[in-house]
Amino acid sequence: MNKQTKNGKIINCLLTRTIIKLHENGFSEDFTEEEGIYTCIQCNMQFSSSYIQINICDLVFDDFSGRYKYIYTIESYSGLKGVLIADSPYFNTAN
């Protein structure tokens, strides 16, 4: 079962468990992406794709949006590690 109801609120079990497990494994930061710039939410540092490594972790159904979400891990060359949740697949075009 991917969702549970607690106090009248729907909880994304699989999505939540995946993010918690990644945070426990050192991917403690959360990232957003806009126009090819990746921003760490916690420290507001910004990176282009050439300064980070992005790896697909999982594809899970999001009960809130009714869509599948791609979960990626991000590691910067400075050692910052985190998670990015996206609506579409990421394709690294840099060689």
pLDDT at 8 over 70: no
Range of the structural domain that residue 19 is part of: 3-86
Confirm whether 21 is domain-assigned: yes
Name the burial class of residue 84, with classes exposed (0-12), middle (13-18) and buried (19+) by CB atoms within 10 angstroms of its CB.
buried
Confirm whether 93 is domain-assigned: no
Confirm whether 49 is domain-assigned: yes
Confirm whether 50 is domain-assigned: yes
> Which band of pLDDT confidence, cut at 50, 70 and 90, is reported for residue 5?
low
Task: Quick: pLDDT tens for 70-90.
Answer: 999 999 999 999 999 999 887
Rounded distance between C-alpha atoms, residue 95 and residue 20, angstroms = 32
pLDDT the model gives residue 62: 85
Average pLDDT, integer, range 13-17:
85
Confirm whether 94 is domain-assigned: no
pLDDT the model gives residue 63: 79
pLDDT the model gives residue 1: 47
Task: Quick: pLDDT tens for 25-79.
Answer: 999 999 999 998 999 999 999 999 899 999 999 999 887 888 899 999 999 999 9
* Count of domains observed in the chain: 1
- List alpha helices for 1-95, DSSP H: 13-24
pLDDT the model gives residue 15: 87
Confirm whether 95 is domain-assigned: no
